[in-house]
Amino acid sequence: MSQTLDFALPSPQVAVTRESFPAYVLGEILRTSGPSVACARAEEILGEFWDRFGADKAMAVCAEAFGRHGGFWRGAPVTPLRFAEGQDDFFALQLLAGAG
């Protein structure tokens, strides 16, 4: 089973915060591509992503990745590793620029 099964999406009435962002992303991964292999550093990676991009841009990336792209980027499911700093140029910055 996946680590993502331990997380629930936040209520639409509740703003996503740095603390709830990992649960939000993991819930979106589960919703869009189903259970996946657990990523031991998921919460750390997602917290660092939030710190680099801030609330508005982090949520904009998620809206693109899980909304318009349905949880898949360049033919592969979005995973927590897509949010790692080394992927910014290939994932987050392209989504923010409207690529894809």
Tell me how far apart the alpha carbons of residues 3 and 80 are, in angstroms, rounded to a whole number: 11
Q: How do residues 47-61 score in pLDDT, each as one tens digit? A: 999 999 999 999 999
Burial of 67: CB neighbours in 10 Å, binned 0-12, 13-18, 19+: exposed
What's the total number of domains in the chain? 1
| 31 has pLDDT over 80 | yes
Sign for the pseudo-dihedral over CA of 78, 84, 87, 92: positive
Other CB atoms closer than 10 Å to residue 24's CB: what's the count?
Answer: 21
pLDDT at 13: 53
**pTM reported for the whole predicted model:** 0.85
Sign for the pseudo-dihedral over CA of 33, 8, 66, 59: negative
The mean of the pLDDT values for the chain is: 88
Structural domain of residue 16, as residue ranges? 3-96
